[in-house]
Amino acid sequence: MQVIPAIDVLDRRVVRLQQGDFERSEDFGDDPVALAQSFVLQGASTLHLVNLSGAKSGKLEQPFLKVVRSISECTTLALQVGGGVRTLQDIYSLISCGSTRIVLGTVLFTDPELVRSAVLLFGSNRFIAALDVQNNKIRIKGWQENSDIPLYDGIKIIKSLGIANILVTDISKDGMEQGPNVALYKKIKKNYPELSIAASGGVRNPKDIRDLRRAGCSFAVVGKVLLSKQVRLSQLLRAENDLAIRIIPCLDIAGGRTVKGTKFQNLRDAGDPVELAARYCEEGADELVFLDISASKQERETVFELAAHVAEAVNIPFTIGGGIRCVEDAKRLLEAGADKVSINSAAVIKPELLSEIAEQLGRANTVCAIDARRKGNSWVVLTKGGSEETEKDAIAWAVEAAQRGAGELLVTSFDRDGTGEGFDTALLACIKERVNVPVIASGGAGRLRDFVDAAALGRADALLAASVFHFQTFSIADVKHVLRDASFPVRS
């Protein structure tokens, strides 16, 4: 299931029609390219672009092609484009301007021979057959005309043309914010399981996305609700699957004991880490991170034993970081029972270490921890527990770390760490935009809504916190509760 944002263009302006009625259109400005870019920032990989002028006039004109070309050049989006496509030349022009897929509507029923030729020339995968449905009948020409073709006859025609991707819009639901016609999609999928169905019209929230997924839809095209900013695209994208946002308590350890303090100062003993780990596990933690801040080499030796004890005590994954200087350290920790090792300063000083560990022990076991502090308009990397500032740009380092084989990034904001003022969502979003590995947000959690913000605005895959859990400001269950209320999937 993939959520695809939609932009409808009428005379080079972004608009939304209500139930396909040109008389009832709402204007959302004159910059479709900027809008497309904002969708990319929120995690979109495909854009559904509709040429309303073309759908109305039946002609593909230069101004629209220019919009297609600009979006294609300015973003990484795969474009599926439709509206007013009537000739082979139209298709060819759209593909030349950067369209990945072409959405065919009216022409499917008015000129099936042309569609046959198009499929022969460009391949059936290039095409999506759009069916606009009202009361079980297909409407054509920008919804202005009723074709009198019943929906299922329409589907048969499309299948006979060799097209397996269909986009079904229930006109009565479009732009009305009453929820999608889930029953309709379920019925189509049941009758034609081989078709890949894109649902369009009526999506309001993540729950609608989940309902469509369960109905068997492969795609959900979403327009109005994003433009009116009632829901963020990133929230809808999360509903594409049930992958839970992970809640990760972090335990600082020294000499085999848990310690508590702020910014590594005023440390005091806080008990046996194995017991605390078991308790967090019991309370619903999805994963644990142990950060070894031992001062001496002898103290550090205890961490290997700790890994073995924790592995026997909990049935969730855990990461150990702090003081890992070589492949051998990492290997010993994994063999002792840790699931992942986190490398921080050592990787900044010697980036090849990341590559070596990832190659020899597996990318999935290799976490790169990045401590960052804002400096002007960017962030710099800190080392040695935040005490030393480097020249490295944090975003560039995140990209390099992922390229070198880090399977996950643990990103800590040192501006926010210990403040309880919330995660640095701008830092997280910048990194998420540039890398395709999971990102753990760290530093700044103080209130429950901070967790929702890191997921919604920062697009973090996992949320780490220490003091709020240690000092029992709130529980892991409380965090999961607010995330669930904000429609994010969490493990129950």
Partner 1 sequence: MIGILRYNAGNTGSVQRALARLNITSKIIENPMELESISGMIFPGAGAAGSAMARLSELGWTDAIRSYTKPFLGLCLGMQLLFEFSEENDTECLGIIKGNVRELPDNVTKPHMGWNKLSTGEYAYFVHSYACKPSNQITSTMTVQYGESICAGVQQDNFFGVQWHPEKSGDAGDRYLLSFASLCR
Catalytic residues: 252, 371
Residue in the block written with tokens 């369960």: 214
Among 126, 173, 246, 373, which residue sits at the site for partner 1 (rule: CB under 8 A)?
246
Return the number of the residue (25 or 360) whose C-beta is nearest partner 1. 360
By CB under 8 A, tell whether 329 contacts partner 1. Answer: no
Q: Which stretch binds partner 1 (CB under 8 A): 61-69, 220-228, 236-244, 417-425?
A: 236-244
Min CB(462)–partner 1 separation in Å: 7
Q: Residue 480 contacts by C-beta under 8 Å, 6 or more apart in sequence?
A: 247, 284, 490, 491, 492
Q: Which amino acid is at 60?
A: L
465 contributes a contact to partner 1 by CB under 8 A: no
Q: Which of 34, 74, 121, 243 binds partner 1 (CB under 8 A)?
A: 243
- Among residues 131, 79, 134, 81, which one has the least CA distance to residue 106? 131
10 Å Cβ neighbour count for 484? 14
Q: How far is the CB of 7 from partner 1 (least distance, A)?
A: 18
Using alpha carbons only, how large is the chain's radius of gyration in Å? 26
Identify the residue among 30, 242, 388, 485 touching partner 1 (CB under 8 A).
Answer: 242
Residues 6+ apart with CB under 8 A from 140: 105, 106, 109, 110, 132, 146, 147
Which are the contacts of 440, defined by CB distance < 8 A and separation ≥ 6? 246, 248, 289, 367, 408, 409, 410, 411, 460, 461, 462, 463, 464
Is residue 244 a contact residue for partner 1 (CB under 8 A)? yes
Tokens of 107: 């022409």
Asked if 361 touches partner 1 (CB under 8 A), the answer is yes
Can you tell me which of 270, 311, 399, 457 binds partner 1, judged by CB under 8 A? Answer: 311
> Alpha-carbon distance 492 to 208, whole Å?
21
CB nearer partner 1, residue 41 or residue 311:
311
How many Å apart are CA 215 and CA 170, to the nearest integer? 15
Please name which of 109, 60, 58, 57 lies closest in space to residue 81, comparing C-alpha atoms.
Answer: 60
Exposed e or buried b per residue across 103-121, where buried means at least 16 C-beta atoms within 10 angstroms of its C-beta: bbbbbbbeeeebbeebbee
Residue 35 engages partner 1 in binding (rule: CB under 8 A): no
Nearer to partner 1, 99 or 365 (CB): 365
Q: How many angstroms separate the CA atoms of 194 and 198, rounded? A: 13
Site for partner 1 contains 418 (CB under 8 A) = no
Please say which residue, 133 or 333, places its beta carbon nearer to partner 1: 333
Q: Which of 263, 326, 362, 471 binds partner 1 (CB under 8 A)?
A: 362
Residues 248-287, interacting with partner 1 (CB under 8 A)? 286-287
CB of 185 to partner 1, least distance (A): 16
How far apart, in whole angstroms, are the C-alpha atoms of residue 430 and residue 426? 6
From candidates 407, 418, 420, 446, binder to partner 1 by CB under 8 A: 407
Output 267 or 313, the one with its CB closest to partner 1.
313
194 or 391: CB nearest partner 1: 194
Residues 6+ apart with CB under 8 A from 211: 179, 180, 182
45 near partner 1 (CB under 8 A): yes
Contact between 481 and partner 1 per CB under 8 A: no
List the structure tokens of 314: 């909990």
Pick from 347, 305, 355: nearest CA to 322: 347
Binding mask 78-107 for partner 1 (x = CB under 8 A): ------------------------------
Alpha-carbon distance of 407 to 363, in angstroms, equals 5
The residue (of 407 and 420) whose beta carbon lies closer to partner 1 is: 407
> With respect to partner 1, which residue has the nearer C-beta, 53 or 319?
319
Q: Is 42 in the site for partner 1 (CB under 8 A)?
A: no
> Residue 317 interacts with partner 1 (CB under 8 A)?
yes
Task: Number of residues interacting with partner 1: please give it, by CB under 8 A.
Answer: 44
Of these, 37, 38, 124, 360, which contacts partner 1 (CB under 8 A)?
360
Binding region for partner 1 (CB under 8 A):
1-2, 45-46, 213, 240-244, 246, 286-287, 307-308, 311-313, 315-317, 331, 334-339, 360-365, 407-408, 436-438, 461-462, 489, 491-492
